């Protein structure tokens, strides 16, 4: 059984708020917790489960994302004084120079003994007078929901004339942020278009109307919002991609749209559902009510972008070659060597990812174990790119998007995996550790978990933090998005290679003196200090210590300075490289000798696991009980044939 509970403040003490999507890291987000109690057990009798992280905030934060993404829309939120935290999401994470268009009623405890409904009406009247919105959203936070003031109904009855008022009823104790964003967008579009609904029996418009009217085809881009993952840049890339093929964009919404723009949605020939988490319900309603076709392929990755263009051509009855010449010319300066010979497909002519992924040494990318977790759209796309376009082995796939769980499970099944559908970051971290990946593709939370586990990570999805909202052009969709994905995913592996090289040369003063690992695990190791021949060490004096905290600050971390022998033993090498010393193995299983582990430690860590498994398989097949350095090289020779 799942009961809701309002979780407390979620500051982690690490110097920054840990999340960025939704009200996910701030005070007041409502989160469910699981219990074995019966369905009849009232929430007041159940214990509260506290959490430090959450993937999504309450649904009213989703509504706030829609309002903040648009122009001319204002949101009146009935909420207590502490719920104004959400402003920080837009000013700090999105780095916007203005507050979101939200008016809070900000009732306090002393107001509960009076007429809070009058406070709501006063706040609504002041917001309309001050901001003069073109459309008004009215809703309540999870705390205000318990008071049952019904602010939406109050606003409708205040007589604001022709001002469109959308009353939002977002169940804070059973739904979350992405659902709240989708529901708000759906209710706003439906409210604004209600007077344009075709009469019953009216023929549905054809997506080929552009041919009859002798004009260019046009589509709507639906779903991008603030606090989405690279939405601003995705819109720019897809708009350019469509323009190359002679397709105009009629409306982009919610991001950058005004209420009047939403009223022009039916003038397009089709809708492009860029982000199903936000736009799927709107696209479905437009298809049922106005007969508008929906392009459902999300163009993330080379294959998906090609499939997106194919679906567009089929729906709009485009000439398959339309715009291809222009696209080729636009990308000629960036084409790969294969494209120059005319041997590549459209994706290879437009993006560097296919050529790069084949040109890199096969032992560097092929077979890399990758764990993926995020929102459904980006997680499914990442799994497809990793397995089919980069040659990675996907060892874990999951999402916190319960509304799209079916799609994630289907993608996982194709890879022979069981999807992880959860909003518990600790369960994700445990699954990540058990999968033993060489790369993690996840959210801001997985970045922290991977850092603790010492695994390279790239962020592919919300929730995100400020460093994942770059000032530069950095899309995920289209041809340029494929380039960005390649760079973003391969970079952590290259940093891993750097870590290995630092480990190999860690005794050189150039590497030891002041070097800090990019993984951030602790302070830099102190440089070895040889003992003076003239002044032998005095055991009674105890070991010398040195503070290693940044800037000399006390950090409780000290490094013991000891003399290093000129030649390390095999056992010392094993310990220095963080490998387990040889010990008893399960009966019938080969075990590693100290010199075998020492040789294994010299192999770069990003292929070390594969070498270990291959060597153990080699030894097991030949009945070798003890794996030493010679066995390791015999296995290498065997697998190199």
Distance CA 447, CA 24 (A): 16
Q: Please tell me whether the peptide bond between 463 and the residue prior to it is cis, using omega within 30 degrees of 0.
A: yes
d(CA 145, CA 411): 37
List the 218-222 sheet strands across, edge first.
248-253, 218-222, 270-273, 293-295
User: Tokens representing 282?
Assistant: 């709107």
Report the C-alpha gap between 219 and 239 in whole angstroms.
10
217 with 316: CB under 8 angstroms? yes
Q: How many CB atoms lie within 10 A of CB 514?
A: 9
Cα(239)–Cα(235) distance, integer angstroms? 6
Q: Distance (Å, rounded) from C-alpha 562 to C-alpha 560? A: 6
Secondary structure (DSSP) of 307-352: HHHHHHHHHHT--TTTTHHHHHHHTGGG--HHHHTT-S-HHHHH-S
* Pairing label, strands 30-34, 102-104: unpaired
Closest to 369 in 3D by CA, of 606, 119, 158: 606
Cα gap 169→382, rounded to integer Å: 34
Across-strand partners of 390? none
597-604 — which CB contacts under 8 Å span 24+ positions?
Answer: 597/570, 597/573, 598/570, 598/573, 598/574, 598/629, 599/629, 599/632, 599/633, 600/632, 601/573, 601/574, 601/576, 601/577, 602/504, 604/497, 604/500
- Residue 390, Cα to own-chain centre: how many angstroms? 19
Catalytic hit among 40, 162, 214, 361? 361
The two structure tokens encoding residue 101: 């268009």
234 tagged catalytic: no
For residue 254, cis peptide bond before it (omega within 30 degrees of 0): yes
- Active-site residues: which are they? 361
């Amino acid at each position: 059984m799942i009961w809701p509970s309002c979780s407390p403040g979620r500051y982690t003490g690490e110097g920054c708020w840990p999340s960025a999507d939704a009200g996910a890291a701030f005070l007041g987000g409502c989160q469910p917790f699981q219990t074995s109690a019966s369905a009849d057990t009232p929430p007041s009798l159940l214990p509260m489960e506290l959490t430090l992280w959450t993937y999504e905030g309450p649904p009213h934060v989703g509504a706030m994302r829609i309002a903040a993404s648009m122009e001319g829309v204002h949101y009146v939120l009935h909420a207590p004084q502490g719920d104004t935290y959400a402003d920080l999401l837009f000013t700090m994470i999105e780095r916007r120079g203005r507050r979101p268009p939200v008016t809070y009623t900000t009732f306090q405890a002393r107001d509960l003994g009076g007429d809070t409904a009058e406070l709501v009406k006063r706040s609504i009247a002041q917001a309309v007078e001050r901001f003069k919105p073109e459309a008004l959203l009215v809703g309540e936070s999870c705390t205000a929901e318990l008071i049952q003031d019904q602010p939406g109904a109050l606003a409708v009855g205040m007589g604001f004339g022709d001002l469109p008022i959308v009353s939002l009823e977002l169940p804070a104790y059973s739904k979350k942020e992405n659902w709240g964003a989708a529901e708000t967008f759906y209710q706003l579009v439906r409210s604004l278009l209600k007077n344009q609904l075709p009469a019953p029996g009216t023929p549905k418009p054809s997506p080929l109307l552009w041919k009859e009217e002798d004009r260019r085809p046009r589509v709507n881009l639906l779903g991008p919002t603030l606090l989405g993952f690279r939405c601003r840049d995705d819109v720019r890339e897809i708009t350019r991609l469509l323009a190359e093929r002679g397709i105009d964009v009629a409306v982009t919404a919610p991001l950058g749209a005004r209420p009047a723009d939403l009223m022009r949605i039916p003038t397009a020939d089709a809708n492009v559902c860029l982000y199903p988490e936000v736009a799927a319900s709107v696209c479905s309603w437009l298809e049922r009510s106005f007969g508008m076709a929906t392009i459902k392929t999300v163009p993330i990755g080379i294959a998906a972008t090609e499939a997106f263009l194919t679906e567009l051509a089929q729906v709009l009855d485009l000439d398959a070659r339309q715009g291809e010449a222009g696209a080729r010319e636009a990308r000629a300066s960036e084409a790969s060597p294969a494209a120059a010979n005319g041997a590549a497909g459209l994706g290879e002519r437009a993006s560097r990812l296919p050529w790069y992924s084949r040109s890199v040494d096969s032992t560097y990318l092929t077979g890399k174990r990758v764990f993926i977790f995020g929102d459904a759209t980006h997680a499914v796309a990442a799994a497809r790119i990793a397995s089919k376009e980069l040659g990675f082995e996907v060892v874990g796939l999951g999402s916190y998007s319960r509304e799209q769980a079916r799609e994630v499970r289907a993608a996982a099944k194709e890879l022979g995996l069981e999807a992880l559908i959860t909003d518990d970051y600790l369960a994700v971290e445990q699954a990540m550790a058990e999968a033993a990946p060489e790369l993690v593709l996840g959210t801001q939370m997985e970045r922290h978990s991977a850092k603790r586990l010492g695994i390279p990570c790239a962020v592919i999805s919300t929730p995100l933090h400020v460093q994942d909202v770059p000032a530069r052009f950095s899309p995920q969709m289209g041809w340029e998005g494929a380039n960005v994905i390649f760079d973003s995913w391969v970079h952590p592996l290259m940093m891993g290679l750097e870590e290995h090289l630092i480990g190999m040369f860690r005794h050189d003063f150039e590497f030891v003196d002041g070097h800090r690992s990019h993984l951030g695990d602790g302070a830099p190791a102190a440089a070895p200090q040889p003992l003076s021949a003239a002044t032998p060490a005095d055991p009674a004096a105890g070991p010398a210590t040195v503070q290693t905290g940044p800037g000399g600050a006390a950090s409780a971390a000290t490094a013991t300075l000891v003399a290093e022998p000129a030649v390390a033993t095999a056992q010392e090498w094993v310990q220095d490289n963080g490998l387990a010393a040889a010990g008893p193995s399960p009966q019938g299983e080969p075990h590693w000798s100290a010199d075998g582990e020492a040789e294994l430690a010299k192999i770069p860590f990003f292929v070390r696991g594969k070498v270990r498994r291959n060597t153990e398989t080699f030894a097991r097949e030949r009945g070798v009980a003890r794996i030493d350095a010679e066995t390791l090289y015999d296995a290498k020779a065997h697998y190199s044939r």
